[in-house]
Amino acid sequence: MSIKVYGFWRSIASFRIRVALKLKQLAFEEVSIDILQGKQFEPGYDAVNPEHVVPTFIHDGHSLYQSLAIMEYLDDIKPSPRLLPEDIKKRAYARSLALMTIADAHPLTVPRVRKHLAKTFGADAKAVEEWGAHWTIEGLSTYERFLARRKPAPFALGKDAGLADICIAGQVVGAQYLKIGLEAFPIVKELSDRCFAMPEFLSSHPFEQPDYKASGGKH
């Protein structure tokens, strides 16, 4: 099985795919596309992904896009260990938790949105940072409310880490970029600590990636 991932250290969506692949114990090659330097718009990558985003997932020559679709595909090609529960109600709930960051909070903080705020509306660096902090906190607050009603035991949907936990951990990574503490979100923090105690999560963290370290730790 040949798997290649075009990603970038700072990409939270790339983080999700790394964790999922490692939980599945699937070997992969990651190719770095520096989205901060605009490498996603170059002709070579345009031929790979015309949306000009990361990650792009290639399995035996077949390309897939968008982290949620990729993670669900991994459950199809290697059903164990599962990222989504077998039970249809729990599976739908896991997707709901995932989409709270994938569809709601995270898209508002990505580089192309930040650049658009600056270019089109004249937002300075402080305003752009406040924008990102606002939506990151909104995402964390949403997770805290949901997890309070259905306490992690020990993970979001039971004894094993899965798709929902990957996405919640990704939201925490976004908070770390902005130096937002988790004191106001104790249940999220407890779940996140549990996740990052696992090597699959810790080794997938953006700050552990070779391209981050090669950048001299600039983010």
Of the candidates 130, 29, 16, the one whose C-alpha atom is nearest the C-alpha of residue 73 is 16
Q: Give the global pTM.
A: 0.96
Longest alpha-carbon distance in the chain: 49
The domain defined by 88-202 carries CATH number 3.30.950.10: no
The residue ranges of every structural domain in the chain are 3-81, 88-202
pLDDT reported for residue 219: 55
Number of C-beta neighbours around residue 190 at 10 A: 15
pLDDT (tens, 9 = 90+) of the chain, 219 residues, equals: 799 999 999 999 999 999 999 999 999 999 999 999 999 999 999 999 999 999 999 999 999 999 999 999 999 999 999 999 999 999 999 999 999 999 999 999 999 999 999 999 999 999 999 999 999 999 999 999 999 999 999 999 999 999 999 999 999 999 999 999 999 999 999 999 999 999 999 999 999 999 998 887 665
The domain defined by 3-81 carries CATH number 3.30.300.30: no
pLDDT reported for residue 215: 80
